[in-house]
Amino acid sequence: MKNGAAAGLAVLSLLATPLRAEAPPKPESFGPEMIHLPALERQAEQGILRPVPIAVELPDDLNLRARRVLLHYRLWGEPDWTTLQLRSRGARYEGAIPCLEVSTVTGDLKYYIRVHDNEGRVVASAGSRAKPYVVTIKNDWALSAGAKAPARCPDPADCPAGLPGCPSEKVEVVCQTDKDCEGGLTCSWRGVCEKIDRRRDFFLLSVAQDFGLVATSGACSVHAQENEGYACYRSDGGQYIGSPVMTNEPVGVGPGPTRLMVGFEHLFYYDTSVGVRVGWAALGVGPTPRGGTPFFPLSVALRATHWFGSDLFARSGWRPYAFVTGGYGMSDIKARTQVREDPRAQSRQPGNDLEQRLVVWKRAGDGFVGAGGGVAFAFDPRRMLSIEAALLQAFPYGALIVAPTLGGMFAF
Amino acid sequence: MRSETSRLEADTPRRKPLAFAVLIVLLGACSSEAMSPPEPEVGQAGAFIAVDSPAGLSLLRTLEAIHIEGDNLIFTTLYDVTPASWDEAREIAKQRTIPIRDTLVTISEGLLAGRSHRVVWFRTLTKEEEDRAR
């Protein structure tokens, strides 16, 4: 469209015969339709200080699905693209790049058009950032002979935003996914494109130290050691198999395994994420008594996390959170207890004093559920450091486990 | 009406001690701490016995006890120590290695009862200690 008579009106049409647009392909895939126009119609020219009217006419089937038609344009020398919503008149959508924005700068003005449906999806487009339409802004004397010269800009003081020829209003581009946004913009949780480096998927590395609370009353009886996951050891290192008197002993508290963990976290809403953690117990594993179940160092946990705050992942800084978790994992808890030997019982083991202090190992697990909380500090959208504590109940071999964890999360 | 109130008030103090007593009994029944653990006795193998004599305290350890003619005959090991008190005797008994004066001494529980003595400690016998009495 290089003829001067139509220089000021770049019309994209799917139906209008003068421009002879090709019919759009049927939507056989989930991607947007491409509005094809002959290469000739990608060029136009316009005088300075004049609006550039844009109109597009959609085919009926596309018009039924269209909710908004957005014009994206970039003036010569401008680093950013500007968006303008075209007004609907039936199947025809019209608008104009304001003459005050065209101003007196000569050069190529680039633009393309995208059609969005009710949910913000791009259902059709004409041109693209990579291959836009071009209107060359020229001085009046340089325009082709016979080019139409519409009126110049009105007085800016009488020019409300949004009117043709006046400065355009900024339009938020509706989106569903990041794919609906261009130029490094990401789709926000409000469903509009924003210039924010928003990350939703994180890789995680952390180290956790278990601490456990275990009941030690009766823990060193032969029955408890054979059936409840306990193992008691004397000061000489031998396993205790004596005849203890049942006494009230306080709850034992002691360290459990130190775990190295890797994980994945996916943010599926601005304040909610789900993740998985795989751990390896590197330290703190107790001895396995004869006939006992060997310790399995691998652990797997699923978790759901709630992040407290409004769209925390849109900015750096503190990110407090709470989570629930559950999974598979063994935990050896080391505690100490006092045992009193029953002098009336038939001796089963030599050398057991009337009273002695024993080391108790409780092999808790293999399942666990729990909850916890923590806080993360995001240095930037891609990196954050977190510290948290979880309170876990192990089952069927019970123990209450507190697991403080220090970790780093890295977006990808 | 006044007399009824007075009667109720008069009843109340009598009920409080009763309820308190029931509570104490129930709490006692629920607490195993209320039960004292079994203490070792002279005739139980492994018991350490401190016996008072004119020469001072002696320390013995029961290896085995047999019942003969209405008395218990106790086979013991006599240690070569002279504790100054019952507490010291207990501390010596807790040690794993104690010097022995006589590996097998037989005493009558009846005669022992005539002297001041205490069971100060207990430890299950080793195989070697069990064999001394056989």
Q: Is A343 helix (H, G, I), strand (E, B) or coil?
A: coil
- Kindly list the residues from chain A whose CB atom is less than 8 angstroms away from the CB atom of residue B37: 245, 247, 340, 342
Q: Do A343 and B127 touch (CB under 8 A)?
A: no
pLDDT at A305 over 50: yes
- pLDDT of B7 higher than 50: no
> Rounded mean pLDDT of A166-184?
75
Q: What is the pTM of this model?
A: 0.62
Q: Looking at the partner chain, which of A246, A248, A349 has a beta carbon nearest the beta carbon of B124?
A: A349
CA distance B37 to chain A (A): 7
In angstroms, the separation between the Cα of residue A292 and the nearest Cα of chain B is 26
Residue A410: per-residue pLDDT: 94
Which residue is associated with the tokens 């653990």?
B37
Write down the pLDDT at residue A91.
Answer: 87
CA distance A138 to A133: 16
Mean pLDDT lowest among A53-57, A404-408, B72-76: A53-57
Residues of B within 8 A of A218 (CB-CB) are none
Check pLDDT > 90 for residue A377.
yes
pLDDT of residue A318: 94
Q: State whether residue B94 sits within 8 Å of chain A by CB.
A: yes
Q: For residue range A306-323, what is the model confidence (pLDDT) as tens digits?
A: 999 888 888 889 999 999
Residues of B in contact with A351 (CB under 8 A): 96, 123-124, 126
B42-59 residue pLDDT tens: 989 999 999 998 888 999
Q: Based on the number of CB atoms within 10 Å of its own CB, is B36 exposed (0-12), middle (13-18) or buried (19 or more)?
A: exposed
* Half-sphere exposure in the Cβ direction for A278 (13 Å, CA): 5
Structure confidence at residue A42 as a pLDDT band (50, 70, 90): low
- Across the interface, do B124 and A247 touch by the CB < 8 Å criterion? no
- Is residue B98 within 8 angstroms of chain A, CB to CB? no
CA-to-CA distance for A93 and A112, rounded, in angstroms? 13
CA A251 to chain centroid, in Å, comes to 42
Positive or negative CA dihedral for A132, A138, A140, A143?
A: negative
Helix, strand, coil proportions of chain A in percent (round to 5)?
Answer: 10, 50, 40
Q: Does B118 touch chain A (CB under 8 A)?
A: no
Residues in chain B within 8 Å Cβ distance of A341: 122-124
Which residues of chain B are within 8 Å of residue A340 when distances are taken between CB atoms?
Answer: 37
The mean pLDDT of A161-187, rounded to a whole number, is 74
B122:A349 CB<8 A: no
Q: Which of A393, A336, A327, A341 is nearest to A360 (CA)?
A: A336
- What pLDDT, on the 0 to 100 scale, is given for residue A296? 94
With 0-12 CB in 10 A as exposed, 13-18 as middle and 19+ as buried, what is A276?
middle
Strands A133-138 and A43-47 turn out to be parallel
Which of B36, B118, B123, B130 is the best mutation test for A, with the most CBs of A within 10 A?
B123
User: What confidence tier does A162 reach under pLDDT thresholds 50, 70, 90?
Assistant: low
pLDDT at A293: 82
Q: Where residue A50 falls among pLDDT bands split at 50, 70, 90?
A: confident
3-state secondary structure of A171: coil
Region A198-206: what's the mean pLDDT?
92
Q: H-helix or E-strand containing A186?
A: strand A186-187
C-alpha distance from B45 to closest chain A C-alpha (Å): 8
pLDDT greater than 50 at residue B6: no
Q: What is the pLDDT, as a whole number, of residue A24?
A: 45
Pick the residue from chain A with its C-alpha nearest to B123.
A353
Phi-psi region at B17: left, alpha or beta (left = phi > 0; alpha = psi -120 to 50): alpha
Out of A242, A342, A350, name the one closest to residue B38 (CB).
A342
Please check the confidence at residue B11 and state whether its pLDDT lies above 70.
no
Lowest mean pLDDT among A82-86, A371-375, B34-38, B97-101: B34-38
Distances in Å between the Cα of A99 and the Cα atoms of A87, A151, A156, B39 are 17, 10, 10, 105
CB contact under 8 A, B40 and A354: yes
CB contact under 8 A, B37 and A247: yes
Q: Hey, how many other C-beta atoms are within 10 angstroms of the C-beta on A391?
A: 12
Residue A150: what pLDDT? 64
**How many Å apart are CA B132 and CA A50, to the nearest integer?**
120
Structure-block tokens of residue A143: 């325009």
Enter the ipTM.
Answer: 0.72
- For residue B38, the chain A residues in CB contact (below 8 A) are 245, 342-344
Higher confidence at residue A33 or residue A274? A274
CB-CB: which of B46, B96, B127 is closest to A343?
A: B46
pLDDT(A26) > 80: no
Q: What is the pLDDT of residues B111-123, one digit of tens each?
A: 888 889 999 999 9
Where on the phi/psi map is residue A39: left (φ > 0), alpha (ψ -120 to 50), or beta?
Answer: alpha
B97 touches chain A (CB under 8 A): no
Instruction: Kindly determine whether residue A353 and residue B121, on different chains, have CB atoms separated by under 8 Å.
Output: yes
Query: Do residue B32 and residue A349 have CB atoms under 8 angstroms apart?
Result: no
Asked if residue A223 has pLDDT above 60, the reply is: yes
Comparison of pLDDT for A27 and A261, the residue scoring more: A261
**Which residue in B47, B121, B126 is closest to A350 by CB distance?**
B126
CB contact (8 A) between residue B124 and residue A352: yes
Whether residues B38 and A350 touch (CB distance < 8 A) is answered with no
- Is the predicted pLDDT of residue A1 greater than 60, yes or no? no
Do residues A42 and A133 touch, judged by C-beta distance below 8 A?
yes
pLDDT at A19 over 60: no
In contact, A101 and A74? CB cutoff 8 Å: no
| Amino acid sitting at position A301 | A
Residue A13 has pLDDT above 70, yes or no: no
Q: Token match 């009667």: residue?
A: B7
Contacts across the A-B interface (CB distance below 8 Å):
50
pLDDT of B4 reads: 38
Asked if A215 and A251 touch (Cβ cutoff 8 Å), the reply is yes
Closest CA to A150 of A44, A84, A41, A53: A53
- The pLDDT value given to residue B133: 74
